[in-house]
Amino acid sequence: MEFCFADRTANMNGTATREIFKLLSRPEIISFAGGLPATEALPVKELKEICGELLSASDAYKLLQYGTTEGYPPLADAVIQTVKEFGVCAERENVLVISGGQQGIDLMCKSFLNAGDTVLVENPTYLAALQIFNSYEAKAVGIRADAYGIDVADLEAKIKLHKPKFVYLVPTFSNPTGKTYSEKNRKEIAFVTAKYGIPVLEDDPYARLRFSGEKVNALYSFAQSDNVVYLASFSKILSPGLRVGGAVGNPDIIRKMAICKQGTDLHTSLLAQAIAAEYCRRGLLKRSVEDSLPLYASRKKAMMRGIEKYMPSEFVHTNPEGGLFVWGEFDGCDINTAELLHRAVERNVAYIQGSVFYADGSGKNTIRLNFSNASEEKIDEGMKALGEFFKEEISRAKN
Ligand SMILES: Cc1ncc(COP(=O)(O)O)c(C=O)c1O
């Protein structure tokens, strides 16, 4: 039977994401393609204990009932405490518990976007956000960026030209680049977007995964009006499988997002919220994040060593102070990393082609590498395979 799907689904393209998950499931592949937190950082023992205790309580049934859309109050309080660390001040009316940061992006779109609207994004940006904008029939327009953040002159010019509904940014340990905007850049973005009354969606799942350098406060903390919505997530610091996060912002926006959330999932799983809240209440979040940072730092260093040892000299790359990703470009090389991916996989190593992170599909000679989910030995082995592969491809392209 031929199904008559909605027109807006015609341009939805999940191919790249599907490809990533297929690759991850083959055991012989050393995959730098995903974005998973380290298996060792997932607190199985602690959550088993917490689940047992929560479900042994005499009123445990309440956690198996329906709950309010706004969220389980102890978890909303835990979100308020967590975001304070980055200068984000919030009361309960500013908080909506969400089923992961991904839902926050979706609800922001559901609340603001009409078909044909424009969203400004950093070029490159989070692939799945681009897919969500696409699903709302909105157009993503890229803003130029450098090592310190986005080009604010370009941002202002594109605000004037495109009159965007909002600006979407990942200012700390960005996915895909691993880059962090400077404080100066955050202040300038806050100033320009307030000047034109443009909302900003600050997506911040990685800020707590800092293993070196100085903390930078959230863009939200520098906001000159109430135009910034901040997304926090427990996925990378506790467990992505729990699907718990928080959106923080102006109460009018938060209320609108809550109404939109009702149609999506009524509320985030109460049991998952209670588990996350109890994990925080016991002080385990701070401890487990601190414990996981040396692991991430040493894996990032292993990747840097692998790049120095094996990658071609044309490979120009970031050296992040946190997060999960390294980003690189084969400077001046006429290669297409999307076309080459299947051949790399034949050598049992995977990366993500950088072009999928560009609003305009450019970045043909770029790649994203994830360092969090493989041992140091595997990182060395994988980078050796990848380095040899790209050296061959680059010399082929030159001849
Ligand atoms: C920038 C960014 N935003 C949102 C998400 C979605 O995360 P969550 O599990 O919180 O929905 C990810 C996941 O990789 C991400 O990298």
- CATH assignment of the domain containing 335: 3.90.1150.10
Q: How sure is the predictor about 231, in pLDDT bands with cuts at 50, 70 and 90?
A: very high
pLDDT tens digit sequence for 153-170: 999 999 999 999 999 999
Quote the strand ranges of 87-163, DSSP E.
95-98, 118-122, 139-143, 145-146, 149-150
CA atoms within 13 A on the CB side of 389: 21
Cβ neighbors of 105 (< 8 A, separation 6 or more) are 128, 129, 132, 168, 201, 203, 231
pLDDT at 221: 98
Cβ neighbors of 301 (< 8 A, separation 6 or more) are none
Asked whether residue 49 is domain-assigned, the answer is no
Mutate to test the pocket of ligand 1, among 79, 170, 175, 242 (most ligand atoms within 8 A of CB): 175
pLDDT at 26: 81
In a shared domain, residues 241 and 270: yes
Domain boundary among 282, 302, 319: 282
> What average pLDDT does range 293-308 have in this prediction?
98
Asked whether residue 3 is domain-assigned, the answer is no
CA atoms within 13 A on the CB side of 273: 28
**Is 13's pLDDT higher than 70?**
no
Asked whether residue 366 is domain-assigned, the answer is yes
> What average pLDDT does range 213-238 have in this prediction?
96
pLDDT at 21: 62
Between the CA of 130 and the centroid of ligand 1 the distance, in Å, is 12
Q: Are 154 and 190 in contact (CB under 8 A)?
A: no
pLDDT tens digit sequence for 341-365: 999 999 999 999 999 999 999 999 9
CA atoms within 13 A on the CB side of 295: 15
Give the whole-angstrom CA distance, residue 14 versus residue 323: 24
Domain boundary among 254, 282, 310: 282
Q: Which atom of ligand 1 is nearest to the CA of 243?
A: 9
What mean pLDDT, rounded, does the chain reach?
Answer: 95
Mutate to test the pocket of ligand 1, among 17, 36, 102, 177 (most ligand atoms within 8 A of CB): 102
Q: How sure is the predictor about 305, in pLDDT bands with cuts at 50, 70 and 90?
A: very high
**Is 27's pLDDT higher than 90?**
no
Q: Which atom of ligand 1 is nearest to the CA of 101?
A: 10
Q: Which DSSP state fits 347?
A: T
pLDDT at 224: 86
In a shared domain, residues 158 and 227: yes
Asked whether residue 394 is domain-assigned, the answer is yes
Mutate to test the pocket of ligand 1, among 17, 236, 242 (most ligand atoms within 8 A of CB): 236
pLDDT at 8: 85
Q: What pTM does this model have?
A: 0.96
Helix (H, G, I), strand (E, B) or coil at 335: coil
Cβ neighbors of 395 (< 8 A, separation 6 or more) are none
Among candidates 118, 128, 204, which has minimal Cα distance to 166? 118
Q: How sure is the predictor about 298, in pLDDT bands with cuts at 50, 70 and 90?
A: very high
Between the CA of 64 and the centroid of ligand 1 the distance, in Å, is 26
**Is 14's pLDDT higher than 90?**
no
pLDDT tens digit sequence for 183-216: 999 999 999 999 999 999 999 999 999 999 999 9
Q: Which atom of ligand 1 is nearest to the CA of 245?
A: 10
Tokens describing residue 349: 């190593």
In a shared domain, residues 194 and 250: yes
Domain tally, the chain: 2
Give the whole-angstrom CA distance, residue 87 versus residue 220: 8
**For ligand 1, is residue 205 a contact (CB within 6 Å)?**
yes
In a shared domain, residues 109 and 245: yes
In the numeric block, the tokens 């955050």 are attached to 186
Give the whole-angstrom CA distance, residue 309 versus residue 47: 40
In a shared domain, residues 125 and 268: yes
pLDDT tens digit sequence for 139-148: 999 999 999 9
**Is 16's pLDDT higher than 80?**
no
In the numeric block, the tokens 């962090």 are attached to 180
**Is 20's pLDDT higher than 70?**
no
- How far CA 256 is from CA of 75, 209, 261, 273, 324, in Å, comes to 20, 30, 9, 21, 32
Q: Which DSSP state fits 249?
A: -
pLDDT over 90 for what percent of the chain?
Answer: 90
- Assign residue 231 the CATH number of its domain: 3.40.640.10
Tokens describing residue 183: 């404080």
- How far CA 123 is from CA of 50, 150, 158, 323, 396, in Å, comes to 41, 9, 13, 18, 29
Q: Distance of alpha carbon 102 from its chain centroid, rounded? A: 8
pLDDT over 70 for what percent of the chain?
Answer: 97
- How far CA 254 is from CA of 95, 169, 273, 289, in Å, comes to 7, 18, 18, 28
Asked whether residue 193 is domain-assigned, the answer is yes
Asked whether residue 249 is domain-assigned, the answer is yes
Domain boundary among 282, 297, 315: 282
Rounded-to-10 torsion of CA 24, 231, 353, 321 = -90
In a shared domain, residues 220 and 329: no
In a shared domain, residues 201 and 305: no
**Is 10's pLDDT higher than 90?**
no
In a shared domain, residues 98 and 201: yes
pLDDT at 105: 98
Which residue has its alpha carbon closest to ligand 1 atom 6?
Answer: 102
> What average pLDDT does range 291-303 have in this prediction?
97
In a shared domain, residues 137 and 253: yes
Which residue has its alpha carbon closest to ligand 1 atom 14?
Answer: 35
In a shared domain, residues 33 and 115: no
Asked whether residue 52 is domain-assigned, the answer is no
In a shared domain, residues 77 and 90: yes
Range of the domain at 160: 60-282
In a shared domain, residues 77 and 175: yes
First-to-last CA distance in the chain?
50
pLDDT at 17: 54
**For ligand 1, is residue 35 a contact (CB within 6 Å)?**
yes
- H/E stretch holding 108: helix 101-112
Q: Which amino acid is at 24?
A: L
Asked whether residue 374 is domain-assigned, the answer is yes
**For ligand 1, is residue 302 a contact (CB within 6 Å)?**
no
pLDDT at 374: 93
- How far CA 292 is from CA of 40, 146, 212, 395, in Å, comes to 8, 29, 13, 39
pLDDT tens digit sequence for 41-60: 999 999 999 999 999 999 99
